[in-house]
A and B are shown apart, each in its own frame.
Chain A
Amino acid sequence: MVAPVRRAATVSLTQDIWRRFKRHRLALFGAVILLVIIAGVAIGPWLWTVPINEIDFNARLKPPSWQHPFGTDDLGQDLFSRMLYGGRISIAVGLAAMTIAIVVGTIIGAIAGMSRGLVDTFLMWLTDLFLSLPQLPLLLLIIYLFRDSLKKIVGAETGVFIMIVVVIGGFRWMPVARLVRAQFLSLREKEFVEAARALGASRLRQVARHILPNALGPVIVAGTIDVAAAIIAESTLSFLGLGFPPDIPTWGRVLFDAKDYLDTSPYWALFPGTLIFLTVLSINYIGDGLRDALDPRRVL
């Protein structure tokens, strides 16, 4: 008797969220931009077949033209195809690392916020520990310990990808955990949660239906910031020899390479900068839309 009713309720809830999301025009706009970017980097390299590493010394530092829509860099390589190719990695790294940071952070923060005493103390100790670790020596240690063995197990590219994503995500979950915990500490004492508790709602249900949706605001913000940070962090890692090989033009890397030519060839930096910005912007609008759609009290 009970089960079918519940399923019906869930379906209508999902539909409801989608209905609310669709009404959020900026969120739709963000979703469209993100889809365009993802589609661009996914199929773009098939359509725009200029090789990413074709060195042409006669076409160095050329501004955008029909032949090179984004211009060329100082080795005469076509920036458009480089951006398309590098975008795959940058977006994948950004989204995956963000997901790790958010999921780990939310779980740890939620557990710490709901439990008291030893569990909370231990989890916050763990957070403090990760906040204190000097990242550079630790990264060097990780490269040294795991790079070769991981390469052997899953192959060069996947190995590097997994390592980068885990490393970036692993260094960015702590603020999320502390934010979620703080939200939980405050929310779990609010009237509507007490009401649910009084009605005999289980702990899991309290969290899932009442506390978590209201704690998502900072999580979504952290998520968007983490995407940008991860895209840039990837390029930093490649300077430590941890990232992808130097000839793979991820967006962060192109931006870094362009910096010394900022006064003479500003377009070189403009394109990666704008693409990172647009990605972050669209993800954020989607996040805003999701949050509004999930907010049960908001009438839309």
Chain B
Amino acid sequence: MTLPGTYVLRRLLIALPSLLGISIVLFTVLALAPGDPFGDIVSNPNIPADVAANLRLKFGMDDPVAVRYLRWLTAMLQGDWGFSFASRIDVDTLIMQRLWTTLLVIGSSQVLALLIALPVGIYAATRPYSLFDQVANTLTFIGFSLPTFFTGLLLILVFSIQLDWLPFVYRSDISATGWRFFWEHFRQTIMPVSVLALFQAASWTRYVRSAALDVIRLDYVTTARSKGLKERVVIMKHVVRNALIPVVTLVALQLPAIFGGAIVTEQIFRVPGIGSLLISAILANDTPVIMAVTFVFSCLVISFNLLADILYGWLDPRISLR
């Protein structure tokens, strides 16, 4: 493997212009996309037409796209994330208000999904077509055949309405203190986290199983086995390590979502996360919010994919990236 230091440095240097390029594309798409933030105002007969025109002028929306992009870029470089049309406050305040909830809910669901997918997938791969494998397979197919809007509703019907065990409206500011605070938070987090984790775990399990299955068949595993190594050691040392390459790829693809949120699930359980902020901003055509969220999201995409590339080298030292 070549010296990772120079490789990482080079990739980081490339990341800057690529981010700039992505930001230009994002901005152009948003500027050209149909819809406008003051639709409500224009269609309301009680509001004179020039109010919307004034607002457009005030927020500089009638300037050419290039001018608006440069204005956004210079502001962003100075740490100014923009100003929301819909809420008339700074975008970073809006995002910070929702960041912790998003990290908590989406983050724990991803961890949970990984904790399910890795052991189940590997165990199923070591015994292909066994009873365990078949059951796990069937469950995973059900898992990704059913969309989250459906499983979410199913959980609500069972656990909130039939059994009355769990609340289904998420509240980020619970007034209780001490243990009760944690208990209440735990109770309301169970359903959104499970819905997301099960959906994610279903597909990850399939990938892990398939990756492990591929590796188990490769020559060197057979060699290791024939050398008389214990099955457990073979699995842990050779199979898991190599099977992790696709898993690392997938996890890196999925991790930015911890920031981006999960739109459908947040909507169902009313989790005040960044996903629901994004969707309401999109529906209200609140471009500064959309731009800020997607831009941070793309920063994360780039850095996690870079991280994945570095991890490949560590998982399989023969991989050389130059």
Contacts and interface: CB of A to CB of B under 8 A. Distances in A.
A220 B150 contact: no
A154 interface: no
A284 B210 CA distance: 11
Contacts of A125: 14, 18, 21-22
Contacts of A131: 253, 256, 298, 301
Interface of B: 14, 18, 21-22, 25-26, 29-30, 32-35, 129, 137-138, 141-142, 144-147, 149-150, 153-154, 157, 161, 203, 206-207, 210-211, 213-214, 217-220, 242, 245-246, 248-250, 252-253, 256, 278-279, 282, 290, 293-294, 297-298, 301-302, 305, 308, 312, 316, 318-322
Interface in A225-259: 225, 228-229, 232, 252, 255-256, 259
Nearest to B303: A128
B188 to A, nearest CB: 21
Given A138-B33, A284-B141, A132 B294 contact: yes
Contact of B33 (A137, A183, A185): A137
A217 B211 contact: yes
A297 B157 CA distance: 49
Contact of A129 (B22, B217, B246): B22
Interface stretch (A55-63, A155-163, A171-179): A171-179
A114 B273 CA distance: 40
A133 interface: yes
Contacts of B319: 185-186, 189
Contact of A221 (B157, B210, B218, B249): B210
Contacts of B207: 179, 218, 221-222
A30 B154 CA distance: 28
A111 interface: no
Given A132-B297, A140-B33, A185-B319, A262 B154 contact: yes
Interface string A258-300: 0100110000010001001100110010000001000101100
B206 A221 contact: yes
A175 B30 contact: no
Given A137-B290, A182-B249, A182-B312, A217 B214 contact: yes
B30 A137 contact: yes
Interface core residue of B33, B161, B321 (most chain A CB under 10 Å): B33
A191 B219 CA distance: 9
A291 B147 CA distance: 27
Contacts of B145: 228, 273, 276-277, 280-281
A152 interface: no
- Main secondary structure, interface of B, reads helix
Interface stretch (A4-12, A31-39, A116-124): A116-124
Contacts of B217: 295, 297-298
Q: Which 8 pairs across A and B sit closest by C-beta, in order of nearness?
A: A132-B298, A189-B318, A137-B33, A277-B145, A217-B210, A141-B33, A217-B214, A144-B34
Contacts of B154: 262
Given A175-B253, A179-B249, A117 B322 contact: yes
Contacts of A143: 34
Contact of B242 (A185, A186, A222): A186
Contacts of B322: 116-117
Contacts of B210: 217-218, 220-221, 291
A136 interface: yes
Contacts of B144: 225, 228-229, 280
Contacts of A255: 147, 150
Contacts of A232: 147
A221 to B, nearest CB: 5
A146 interface: no
A144 B21 CA distance: 24
Given A186-B312, A280-B141, A134 B22 contact: no
